Amino acid sequence: MKILFVGDIVGRAGRRILKENLERVQSEEQIDFTIVNVENAAGGFGITPSIAEKILKMGVDVMTSGNHIWDKREIMDYFNRQPRLLRPGNYPPGLPGQFSYLGESAAGVSVAVLNFQGRVFMPIIDCPFRAVDQHLERLRKKARVIIVDFHAEATSEKMAFGWHLDGRVTAVLGTHTHVPTADARVLPEGTAYISDVGMTGSYDSVIGMKIEPSLHRFLTGIGSRFEPAISSPRFCSVIIDVDEVTGKARSVRRRDLA
């Protein structure tokens, strides 16, 4: 089976190029299951219920997120209504939302999706390594195909997370930095890995935001109001070919469109 994972959707430009290309990519690549990271989909910060529903209707099976998932307050109640929107699982207990989803491909293959967040250069929350260990065996009894979105800043932490889970999950896919990396590979025990899938949004930008406010902040040290850029959008994704019997990845490769 083939799984499509689309990197962080950033603002209107990201939503537009997703809508324009998703169905074609799914058809050309014969995709069985689609996951999209949506934490920057609404104005570059968070997601709203209405935008989430529109993305699901494009043919998305599960939406993952990261540290910006909390930016739109109306999403709190939406978590209770929509189990296909995930938030990182290593935030402290008691917060709304789920960090795992068990779904099925069109052919009836069980697919589990997990979402965790790094701590290096990020908000200090619970340990993602220990958090995934607490829940992984429970999910492995229900699905052999397990995809993990690891939303983190440091490539060292991402790579360590990949090695930690090698042979225990189908894929560890990095998000958050919005910069696509060239290190997609299958680790020795059968886990597909990439440090960052990259963003789906404007690439005439500074990680999706307009250039001028970003330059102002770096040149002056004074904060500026960030707004998503809109020009030169790019669709960034990876495609994982999976042995659905063993849950191991056969291959992982980028599929990017401008």
In this prediction, residues 106-116 reach a mean pLDDT of 96
The pLDDT value given to residue 103: 97
pLDDT tens digits, residue range 155-203? 999 999 999 999 999 999 999 999 999 999 999 999 999 999 999 999 9
Percent of the chain residues past pLDDT 70, beyond the cut: 100
- What is the C-alpha to C-alpha distance for residues 200 and 111, in angstroms, rounded to an integer? 23
The superfamily in CATH containing domain 2-254 is: Metallo-dependent phosphatases (3.60.21.10)
Q: What is the pTM of this model?
A: 0.97
Alpha-carbon gap, residue 187 to 61, rounded angstroms: 26
Residue of 88, 49, 42, 48 whose CA lies nearest to 65: 88
Q: Average per-residue pLDDT in the chain?
A: 97
> What average pLDDT does the segment 71-89 reach?
97
Per-residue pLDDT for 228 more than 90? yes
CB-CB neighbours of 121 under 10 Å: 10
| pLDDT for residue 223 is more than 90 | no
**DSSP for 51-88, written as a single string:** HHHHHHHTT-SEEE--GGGGSSTTHHHHHHH-TTBB--
- Give the tens place of pLDDT for each residue, 198-210: 999 999 999 999 9
pLDDT the model gives residue 224: 83
Catalytic residues: 68
pLDDT band at 28 (very low <50, low <70, confident <90, very high): very high
118 pLDDT exceeds 90? Answer: yes
Structure tokens at 154: 């440091």
DSSP H or E stretch at residue 134: helix 128-140
Domain ranges in the chain are 2-254
Higher pLDDT, 224 or 103: 103
What are the pLDDT digits (tens) for 124-161? 999 999 999 999 999 999 999 999 999 999 999 999 99
Residue 119: how many other CB atoms lie within 10 Å: 17
